[in-house]
Amino acid sequence: MSNRQSGKLALVDSFGRSIHDLRISITDRCNFRCLYCLPETEEAADFFRRSSESGPRPIKHEWKPRSNFLSYEEIARVVRVAAGLGVNKVRLTGGEPLLRRDVPRLIEQLAAISGIKDIALTTNGFSFVEHAKALQGAGLRRITFSLDSLDQDNFRRLTGREALGDVMRAIARAKELGFSPIRLNAVIIRGLNDHEIVPLARFALDQELAIRFIEFMPLDSGRAWQKDHVVTGGEILSLLQAEFDLEPMEPEHASATAKRWRFVGGETEVGLITPVSEPFCGQCNRIRLTADGKLRTCLFSIKEHDFKTLLRQEDDDAALAQWLCDAVLKKEKSHQIGQDQFQQPERSMSAIGG
């Protein structure tokens, strides 16, 4: 498979998938300890001990020094090169991205890059209110909040923080400022928040927010994930259809991760992201850049490609473009969750970037 289209370099992998979506983690730090990512609280340990024989492995999470992170100028350079190869969508993640200083400055730089049509940010919402106006002024229009529970006690069990009120205020502020779309992400874990599927959907409907229910994936630092913890997309859909009138929607695009439905009588949508029960690898169009400058061609990659070293040694953007194309040619066919040969990445979701 060539990495040229119409005679020009393009990000095309060996299976013919064109890459248009770049997810960039700007920090590995997070002020939450979510059970599906950094399960370092006693509540997380108790849950996993109850639901499995082994429980989570002992965890001592060590953040990378900030000097290891790519600078905003380096990130903008990567995006500029990637945009020249067909990338048109960028999502900023973490860790918690708003823990890094002056994020609006980065968004301003990215919004000025020719070819970038869509910039989004995923946040836990904890400090969004204080940054919201500046983020919007810099050019951010799309925002996604993680919201796994509407119950204060359960929210604390899931995230390790007494912060549900902060997230609710963040959602209200985003609506007040006119961010659109505003999306909620809810990771569903059997025995923990599966009883909140319908209340979360009703909240999204009442607030006119899109919501995505996400299957629990093996990306926790405690390596305590088991398939029994997964509530499948099919189960979630059955619960929703028993409570609401839903009609199917067309995919956003050919490589969209979510299967979508609309609440009948309105525009509010609900989506299911099912990487465990119904993998969508065949249409994957995304790659990831970690905060410390490693390119990952799959969320579950075992091998990372060191982009930071090249960035700091190479002045020629054409050489960076060729390197990106060569790395994308090595993109995995699929993530292999549920198969005997599956290996969980060493890094957790916080370090990889959502």
Q: Can you give 309-331 as a three-state secondary structure string? A: HHHHHCCCHHHHHHHHHHHHCCC
Strands 269-273 and 305-306, how do they pair?
unpaired
Instruction: Find the CATH number of the domain harbouring 266.
Output: 3.20.20.70
pLDDT mean over 93-117:
97
Question: Does pLDDT of 353 surpass 80?
Answer: no
Give pLDDT tens digits for 220-274: 655 666 788 999 999 999 999 999 999 999 887 766 778 999 999 888 999 999 9
pLDDT mean over 67-83:
95
Number of Cβ atoms within 10 Å of the Cβ of 243: 13
Question: Does pLDDT of 197 surpass 70?
Answer: yes
Give pLDDT tens digits for 306-331: 999 999 999 999 999 999 999 999 98
Total structural domains in the chain?
1
Return the pLDDT at 58.
46
Q: How far apart are CA 34 and CA 220, in angstroms?
A: 9
Question: Which tokens sit at 277?
Answer: 């029960």
Q: Is 185 helix (H, G, I), strand (E, B) or coil?
A: strand
Q: Which residues contact 161 (CB under 8 A, 6 or more apart)?
A: 31, 32, 33, 126, 155
Question: Does pLDDT of 19 surpass 70?
Answer: yes
Number of Cβ atoms within 10 Å of the Cβ of 115: 13
Give pLDDT tens digits for 22-34: 999 999 999 998 8
Band the pLDDT of 52: cuts 50, 70, 90.
Answer: low
Return the pLDDT at 344.
64
Across 25-39, 135-149, 326-340, least confident range:
326-340
Q: What is the reported pTM?
A: 0.90
Question: Does pLDDT of 79 surpass 70?
Answer: yes
Residue 155 is part of which domain span?
4-352
Return the pLDDT at 205.
97
Give pLDDT tens digits for 273-308: 998 887 667 788 999 999 999 999 887 777 889 999
